[in-house]
Structure 1
Amino acid sequence: MCGVPLRVDASMLLLTALVTVLYAALARRQLDLGQLGGYLVALGFVISLLGSVLLHELGHALTARRYGIGVRGITLELLGGYTEMDRDAPSPRVDLLVSLAGPAVSAVLGAAGVAATLALPGGTLAHLLAFQLAVSNVVVAVFNSLPGLPLDGGRALRAAVWALTRDRHLGTEVAGWVGRAVALATLALVVLLTLRRAVAPLAVPLVLLVAVTLWRGAGQSIRMARIGRRLPLVDLARLARPVFPVPSGTPLAEAQRRRAEGVDPAAALAVADAAGRPVALVDPARADAVPPERRPWLAVDAVCRDLAGLPALPVGADGEHVLETLRTHPGAQYVVTAGEDVVGVLHIADLAQLLEPKRKTNT
């Protein structure tokens, strides 16, 4: 849509079913419809609601494109949707405009729904749908404007703190902690409404899921802010492990013994060709899975991966480049190169230890 790839997550089926069941009961009660009629009206409302969510996300996507930020796609899922962009906003102003574009679209749709509700005769199907669309869009606009990540209002708060302090990471962390407060407030509201029996029983799990998702999203934002502060420390020349080459056909046990007796026991084992150039890299996980008694009889080639099939990083790559490569090519090892020469191997566990020294990682 508008040149933006659209994906629909399977979890959207759960939301569709839940809203259809809840709204069908309301439609039957308000319009005196039969069982089938209630479900058809409810399904129509769900389709309209999904269209509103899509327009909300298109507001983000088209505004981002307006300021030169690439958009990878829009995903509709259980809790609404999200827009994936290929990079962060270049300035607080752009971050603010992109973040508020979605709620602005929802607010306009809500206002149109209110106008239609006032214009249509009461007690009709059109009046009921207009009223529910007005309410849902206003709720989406207001809720998304709350000042905590991962909500749109949290991105606006981040932009404001970023503009005041000139520190994007501080803005993200502040908005993340406020997001956690919003999650707790949402949870408290669910408990209160449940005790007062002011919310339908089927809606309680969905609202609880919203609170949990907000908490996790806020936590991820705080984590990424802390990682971002340490990105300047990434130096592949120092971080990459050296390569320890052995000839093709060397028993795995012998290759491991030679490495252990070498200068750096943590070096990356590689298979070299006749000219001594690395052509394949030993996969540590596959090597560790081989029983010790079999290692003297198994050639190291059996637990290798061709270097051509591994993602590569130039030795001069900065932290942002390294993280982008990790996002687009997930893996445990990355070949570090200087021109056509392999100068080392980056282990994801080593990078994680540098960026998150207090976080436990598997080595």
Structure 2
Amino acid sequence: MGVRLGEGYDETGHAGLSDSVRSIDAVDDSRQRNRPARRRGGREVARVLGIPVFVNASMLLLAVLVTVVYGGYAENELGLAAPFAYAVGLGFVVCLLGSVLLHELGHALTARRYGIGVRGITLELLGGWTEMDRDAPTPRVDALVSLAGPAVSLVLGVLATAAALLLPGRTVAGEIAFQLAASNIIVAIFNVLPGLPLDGGRALRAGLWAVTRDRNRATELAAWSGRAIALLTAFAVFTLYRLDLLTLFGLVFILLVVFTLWQGAGQSIRLARMTRRFPLVDLAKLARPLFAVPSGTSIAEAQRRADAAEPARKGLAVVDSSGRVVALVDGTAAAAVPAERRPWVSVDSVARDVARLPAMRVGLTGEQVVRAVQAHPGAQYVVTSGEDVVGVLNVADLAELLEPRRPARRPAAR
């Protein structure tokens, strides 16, 4: 359980360039908060206090698993008939999901309190996470947003413990109260461990940020702490299993948690290193200059002319009879055309109309460029200066700049 910076940060339209291109100007946060949240791999099932709630398919798997396991427990230990026992198991799942949702609402509402937009809450296999449109502005706010979720879980655990003590033992209500008490208290304790991506890791990051005045450095240190916690947890769980204090199911489940922690910490390290390089992003230098060919030129001829021109890294554009840029050639699509057919195939057939491509203006900061790319995923972006198209940004070039040690997955589009 935790909070994440949004996939697209903020998404804002800008109509001040030209009617021929669709521009991205990722600056105005206030507009973004009124836009619908988007998710990959999750379906919106409800809105709570205006916040979209998404359910990942993996959560359904967990719901079925917990229903079966808890239903079997209710059948064997409480003497319930099978249909009713599994209905009780399903009821426990609903209560558990409600606890997770309240935990995430703790993050979301605290973020709102400090002016941070919330895109949505996603429930998945190992809990849930809250997506915000930007990072906390100060270490204090970061710590408060991070610890709000575990605080809610702790309160729920205390209330469920009181209910379990008041209700008769070995009853359905009493057993559900006991299980909810245990699960919420465990979640509260585990989530405050000082390592990213746990909530306690974000609180640690906030403290380090306040001391070092370097958010990226603080993020990296807190993430390495998270990896250390993952290794210690793995060692502890193997020890408990060898001592027959943990079942095979428990071993597998906790190792899945450990793997998730390790992966999440790695993503935090990667993000911190990328963010540190944001000041290096200069669209005027990063964008490839355009080499223009008239509409109707064959792919082979266009490539021959482009290869003979300087500089070597350039974008191939199609211009109309007046010399206006009307399309950009998709390098991947052009490369897919067999070499023997390229003299007979027009560049127009492998080009994309600039009106359908997102555009960025020269002068955007590195953070704004990354936000725009994440908000509008694509391989190419038109780069403009005033009303003029001055170049093309290939996302592979941006990735190479931000992560120079990361191997490229595919060749950059021409």
2:154 matched to 1:107?
A: yes
2:180 matched to 1:133?
A: yes
2:205 matched to 1:151?
A: no
Question: In structure 1, how many angstroms separate the alpha carbons of the residues matched to 2:250 and 2:241?
Answer: 10
From 236, 259, 263, the equivalent of 1:212 is 259
The corresponding residue for 1:252 is 299
Greater mean alpha carbon deviation, residues 128-137 or residues 37-46: 37-46
Name the amino acid aligned to 1:286: A
Which structure features the higher share of helix residues? 1
From 173, 178, 181, the equivalent of 2:225 is 178
Query: Shift in Å at residue 203 of structure 1?
Result: 3.7
The corresponding residue for 1:187 is 234
Question: In structure 2, how many angstroms separate the alpha carbons of the residues matched to 1:322 and 1:205?
Answer: 41
Give a deviation string over 1:95-127, Cα, whole Å, max 9, x none: 000000000000000000111111112222211
2:163 matched to 1:120?
A: no
Which fold has the larger relative contact order, with Cα–Cα distance below 8 Å and residues 6 or more apart in sequence? 2
Query: Shift in Å at residue 357 of structure 1?
Result: 1.3
From 283, 286, 299, the equivalent of 1:236 is 283
Name the amino acid aligned to 1:101: A
SS at match of 2:266: helix
SS at match of 1:342: strand
2:102 matched to 1:55?
A: yes
SS at match of 2:50: coil
Question: In structure 1, how many angstroms separate the alpha carbons of the residues matched to 2:222 and 2:251?
Answer: 26
Give a deviation string over 1:214-253, Cα, whole Å, max 9, x none: 1111000000001111101111101110011100000000
Q: Unpaired segments of 5 or more residues in structure 2?
A: 1-47
Identity of aligned residues (%): 64
Query: Shift in Å at residue 42 of structure 1?
Result: 1.1
SS at match of 1:186: helix
Give a deviation string over 1:150-183, Cα, whole Å, max 9, x none: 1111110110000001100011001110111122
SS at match of 2:369: helix
SS at match of 2:119: strand
Query: Shift in Å at residue 254 of structure 1?
Result: 0.3
CA RMSD in angstroms comes to 1.2
The corresponding residue for 2:350 is 303
SS at match of 2:383: strand
Query: Shift in Å at residue 184 of structure 1?
Result: 1.6
The corresponding residue for 1:2 is 49
Give a deviation string over 1:314-361, Cα, whole Å, max 9, x none: 110001101111111111111111122111111111111111111111
SS at match of 2:340: coil
Question: Please, what TM-score do these two structures have when normalized by structure 1?
Answer: 0.97
Name the amino acid aligned to 1:306: D
**Kept in 2: contact 1:99–1:156 (CA 8 A):** yes
Give a deviation string over 1:239-276, Cα, whole Å, max 9, x none: 11001110000000000000111122321001101111
Query: Shift in Å at residue 25 of structure 1?
Result: 2.6
Question: In structure 2, how many angstroms separate the alpha carbons of the residues matched to 1:70 and 1:11?
Answer: 26
Name the amino acid aligned to 1:30: E
The corresponding residue for 1:91 is 138
Greater mean alpha carbon deviation, residues 8-17 or residues 189-198: 189-198
Query: Shift in Å at residue 50 of structure 1?
Result: 0.2
Question: In structure 2, how many angstroms separate the alpha carbons of the residues matched to 1:203 and 1:40?
Answer: 23
**Kept in 2: contact 1:18–1:202 (CA 8 A):** no
Query: Shift in Å at residue 198 of structure 1?
Result: 2.9
Name the amino acid aligned to 1:57: E
Moved over 4 A (4+): none
The corresponding residue for 1:353 is 400
Query: Shift in Å at residue 187 of structure 1?
Result: 2.1
Name the amino acid aligned to 1:61: A
SS at match of 1:114: helix
2:356 matched to 1:320?
A: no
SS at match of 1:265: coil
Question: In structure 2, how many angstroms separate the alpha carbons of the residues matched to 1:199 and 1:278?
Answer: 66
From 325, 338, 345, the equivalent of 1:278 is 325
Question: In structure 2, how many angstroms separate the alpha carbons of the residues matched to 1:203 and 1:20?
Answer: 16
Question: In structure 2, how many angstroms separate the alpha carbons of the residues matched to 1:116 and 1:326?
Answer: 50
Question: In structure 1, how many angstroms separate the alpha carbons of the residues matched to 2:334 and 2:252?
Answer: 45
SS at match of 1:5: strand
